[in-house]
Amino acid sequence: PTKFDQLFKKVDELKPDFIDVVAQAVAIPAVSSDESLRPQVVKKAHFIVGQLESLGFTDIQLKPLGIQPPPVTNPNLELPPVVLSRYGSDPNKKTVLVYGHYDVQPAFKEDGWDTEPFTLVVDEEKGQLKGRGATDDTGPLTGWLHVVRAHREAGIEFPVNLITCFEGMEESGSLGLEELIAKEANDYFKDVDAVCISDNYWLGTRKPVLTYGLRGCNYYQTIVEGPKADLHSGVFGGIVAEPMIDLAKIMSTLVDSDGKIQIKGIDEMVAPVTPEEHKLYEEIDFSVDELNKASGSNTALYTKKEDILMHRWRYPSLSLHGIEGAFSAQGAKTVIPAKVMGKFSIRTVPDMDSEKLTKLVTEHCDKEFAKLNSPNRCKTELIHDGAYWVSDPHNAQFSAASKATELVYGVKPDLTREGGSIPITVTFQDQLKTSVLLLPMGRGDDGAHSINEKLDISNFINGIKLMGAYLHYYAESKEN
């Protein structure tokens, strides 16, 4: 039997034990957005440390990230620690950093869960693990530990030096992580050759994928203000210039109902689609029905698979999120808001330049406001930007992961991107100057942030095998 036969057999044997570890981890309600549950988040960090210790990981450190910045109820609230550890430190081996997060989204049975969210249910009939964190990201995070255990118990040499970077604040903006990565880049992380993140999903439910791109996000607000304070529409309606009217006019010029951005100069910044790239979309297993199922509606703007995928992944989009300062409650309030802030964001893609984009956006809004001849004041500003990320999907890491997918699943993976951003991806790439691979374990219908979150047991077990095979193939590859 090959080393893979031995390894995979051991993974299958240990399945009950692996599931038991996930069950123990899921039982800790590590909701990072709930201040009152912060001790549980910390408890889960310690649970992971216990696992790492029993597996022979070394140099285990719980890195403190300091006090959580406002808004918080408790001004002395400590951020959850980042769990750093090593498995092996052989200078002749490559070093792979694996990232995961042990915190989870909130969950209450009353939200509509069929079972207690913090009790892992093993549904043998459906072949699923159900519970908060099963797929996001407790299951995948423990996967790396299971890979180590399987190697140890099968007596197979571990192919790389492994470094773990497990955070407990991902669902709440990864506060403090960027600074930690920058600080450890030439310290704890100094020998890292590659980074692997298992915290996203297959595009659909049938075909494994490797993810090589993420859109960025530039978030803006257009502020229109006039009167000194909110006014009563009975007294002032019809005789003062209303900021909300100006803002509605401006917001209506940003994008059309068919999704076409109306700000001039943006299209010109977008990298053209090459025939080679187009071929990637043609090969992917997806349909408009899957999109409509996911949105729970028939509101898709495109019917062709390639159009949907390209507009999700490689074209910019502009969304209107809402308005701060205006009336937003139930019922009827006859207020003329004095100062309103329209929020919108643009998902960015290669080769859009963030600064140039901001210039185009503000110039557009200024021009549209000028047309209104309004005595109000108007200003548009960037609230934050996160860069897009695209990797070479044929580099050493991706090749190793592709080969591993074929070995485990018997098919070549689809090469996908994501429409959203995982800002930490770019941080790892830029700070550690390494390639980053997104290697999802779960499926597109896992319901990561919804009720009845699940992870198919086959994805869990095959995912562990995939992680192992990827590490071996990457270790064997000539390039980094």
Q: Report which of 277, 260, 254 is spatially closest to residue 316, judged by C-alpha positions.
A: 260
Catalytic residue from among 136, 167, 170, 418? 170
Out of 97, 194, 197, 318, the residue judged to bind a second copy by CB under 8 A: 318
Residue 180 interacts with a second copy (CB under 8 A): yes or no? no
Nearer to Zn ion, 199 or 290 (CB): 199
Out of 126, 190, 232, 356, the residue judged to bind a second copy by CB under 8 A: 232
Residues 100-159 contacting Zn ion, CB under 5 A:
136-137
Candidate ranges 53-61, 115-123, 229-237, 279-287; the one touching a second copy (CB under 8 A):
229-237
CB 343 to a second copy: min, Å: 6
Helices (H), 2-160: 3-13, 15-26, 38-54, 138-154
Residues 42-61 contacting a second copy, CB under 8 A:
none
- Residue written as tokens 């899921």? 26
The answer to whether 311 touches 270, Cβ cutoff 8 Å, is no
Residues 256-295 contacting a second copy, CB under 8 A:
256-259, 291, 294-295
- Neighbouring residues of 283: CB distance < 8 A, sequence distance ≥ 6: 414
Q: Residues 128, 130, 135, CA angle at the centre, nearest 5°? A: 85
* Dist. CA 39–CA 78, nearest whole Å: 10
Q: Which does 236 bind (CB under 5 to 8 A by kind): Zn ion, a second copy, none?
A: a second copy
CB 388 to a second copy: min, Å: 11
Bridging pattern class, strands 82-87 and 161-167: antiparallel
Out of 228, 272, 276, 410, the residue judged to bind a second copy by CB under 8 A: 228
Is 430 part of the annotated catalytic residue set? no
What are the φ/ψ torsions at residue 270 (nearest 5 degrees)? -80, 130
Q: Which run of H or E residues covers position 282? A: helix 275-283
Residue 199 interacts with Zn ion (CB under 5 A): yes or no? yes
Residue 357 interacts with a second copy (CB under 8 A): yes or no? no
CB 56 to Zn ion: min, Å: 27
Candidate ranges 30-38, 179-187, 224-232, 456-464; the one touching a second copy (CB under 8 A):
224-232
Nearer to a second copy, 166 or 220 (CB): 220
- In this structure, what DSSP letter does residue 104 have? B
Q: Report which of 88, 130, 96, 171 is spatially closest to residue 437, judged by C-alpha positions.
A: 96
CB 367 to a second copy: min, Å: 14
Nearer to a second copy, 27 or 245 (CB): 245
Residues 379-438 contacting a second copy, CB under 8 A:
383-384, 418-421
Nearer to a second copy, 181 or 217 (CB): 217
Out of 315, 388, 473, 474, the residue judged to bind a second copy by CB under 8 A: 315
* Dist. CA 362–CA 359, nearest whole Å: 5
The terminus-to-terminus CA distance of the chain in angstroms comes to 28
- In this structure, what DSSP letter does residue 442 have? B
* Dist. CA 76–CA 72, nearest whole Å: 9
Nearer to a second copy, 307 or 406 (CB): 307
Candidate ranges 42-50, 183-191, 204-212, 297-305; the one touching a second copy (CB under 8 A):
297-305
Burial class (CB in 10 A: 0-12, 13-18, 19+), 425: buried
Nearer to a second copy, 127 or 227 (CB): 227
CB 292 to a second copy: min, Å: 9
Tokens in use for 419? 């429409």
Residue 105 interacts with a second copy (CB under 8 A): yes or no? no
Residues 326-355 contacting a second copy, CB under 8 A:
326-337, 343, 345, 347
- Number of neighbouring beta carbons within 10 Å of residue 117: 26
Is 103 part of the annotated catalytic residue set? yes
- Neighbouring residues of 176: CB distance < 8 A, sequence distance ≥ 6: 65, 66, 79, 82, 169
CB 300 to a second copy: min, Å: 6
Nearer to Zn ion, 227 or 447 (CB): 447
- In this structure, what DSSP letter does residue 298 have? S
- Number of neighbouring beta carbons within 10 Å of residue 245: 15
**Active-site residues: which are they?**
103, 170
- Residues near Zn ion (CB under 5 A): 136-137, 199
